[in-house]
Amino acid sequence: MAESAESYGSQEFHGSREHDGSPESDRAEAAQLLSLLKNHSRDASDDGRSPDRQADRPVRWRITGIESRAAHMTRVHGILDRDDDADADADADTEAGATEWAERWCIPNVAIRIELPFQSAEFHGIPDAPVTASRVYTVATADPERREITVDFVVHEGDSPAMLWLRSVWPGDVVELSQPRQHRIPLVATSHVLVVDSTGLPAAVSVLTGMDLPGRVRLLARIPSDEVPELDGVEVIRVEEPLDRAFAALDLDGVDSVWGAAESGEMRPVRRHCRRTLGLSKEATQVYGYWRRGASNTRLDLDRLRLYRDILAAGGDPAELEERMVEMVEDE
């Protein structure tokens, strides 16, 4: 996944929202949540990082190169510090160590959360607010011999933490990552359709290059022409209309597995069509909203804080946060 121009992984997490939605109310709520979470996180290191990241052993990622892949897509290359990785006890120079590393980093649709060295706008001026912002991305490629991973970024206007970092990053810079987690992958069936925009394209490519999907495989992509990937055995269909309309217009006879990652408003009708019209099971309908039109990533940082508060209050594991921040578009 790559960050959209507006938001990633949006979801309405219902909690206390006694404010009017104004920036001032957001800031006041953020201050209250940060104070509450600081008290709940007595066992976590108070190092100024995003609260949810304090519960996850970070990995340092040393940048080695920045590559323009398309007009609006940039790939960042970097080496993982072996002393920080969860498999640090395994010698990566041995066959066993390289295998263990590959089992964690080289599987389809692996995502990491990057700790960006820029503060979310909503937290400016709030005492004890995180000085960084974290965003989730898909690992585009992983090389176990070099311990190198690459990540693709959708380039857009504005001064989001991701864009500020992308404009300033230089080889030799170091940022922290979460440990890798595999996000959802398609059900292996006989006729597959994957549905993406630019934010979901890295995940789709990871799935299509990392899985052996039998039968007919189609990639329905609302992406610029210079982002169209070359994939053996995959029929790539580039469209410009909304993905829900393009999906409904496809010949879907015999389709028994659908995977999607794009804007939530376009993915919700796709999921409904799969479940109600095609009669697919939930397992065969792996369709997700990666971002929500009209909502900023920094506004969604408040949702992260609310959810983290609720998990802690319920005595849950903070590791639940990442899974729950990925929106599965449910039937309405």
Same domain, 212 and 303: no
- How far is the C-alpha of 213 from the C-alpha of 234, rounded, in Å? 10
Domain containing 27 — which CATH number? 2.40.30.10
For residue 106, tell me if it sits in a domain: yes
Tell me which residue of 217, 230, 220, 221 sits closest to 188, measured CA to CA: 217
Domain containing 276 — which CATH number? 3.40.50.80
For residue 11, tell me if it sits in a domain: no
Q: List per-block mean pLDDT (blocks of 10 residues) for the chain, which spans 332 residues.
A: 47 40 68 66 51 67 98 98 60 68 96 92 76 91 96 92 96 96 96 98 97 98 96 97 98 98 94 97 94 67 73 70 50 41
- Ramachandran angles phi, psi of 222, nearest 5°: -95, 85
pLDDT at residue 69, rounded to an integer: 96
For residue 13, tell me if it sits in a domain: no
Q: What is the pLDDT of residues 292-316, one digit of tens each?
A: 776 665 566 677 677 777 777 777 7
For residue 104, tell me if it sits in a domain: yes
pLDDT at residue 329, rounded to an integer: 43
pLDDT at residue 7, rounded to an integer: 39
Query: Which amino acid appears at position 110 of this protein?
Result: V
Largest Cα span, the chain: 57
Q: How many domains does the chain have?
A: 2
What pTM did the predictor assign?
0.80
pLDDT at residue 210, rounded to an integer: 96
Same domain, 140 and 164: yes
Tell me which residue of 185, 99, 133 sits closest to 301, measured CA to CA: 133
Structural domain harbouring 250: 191-293
For residue 17, tell me if it sits in a domain: no
For residue 44, tell me if it sits in a domain: yes
- How far is the C-alpha of 71 from the C-alpha of 155, rounded, in Å? 8
Query: Which amino acid appears at position 76 of this protein?
Result: V
- How far is the C-alpha of 163 from the C-alpha of 166, rounded, in Å? 5
DSSP code, position 218: E
- Ramachandran angles phi, psi of 155, nearest 5°: -90, 130
Q: What is the pLDDT of residues 44-70, one digit of tens each?
A: 544 555 555 544 689 999 999 999 999
Same domain, 33 and 146: yes
pLDDT at residue 218, rounded to an integer: 99
Q: What is the pLDDT of residues 106-145, one digit of tens each?
A: 999 999 999 999 987 777 877 777 788 888 899 999 999 9
Spell out the residues 6+ positions from residue 137 whose beta carbon is closer than 8 angstroms to its own.
1, 2, 3, 111, 112, 113, 114, 151, 152, 153, 202
Same domain, 45 and 153: yes
- How far is the C-alpha of 30 from the C-alpha of 129, rounded, in Å? 8
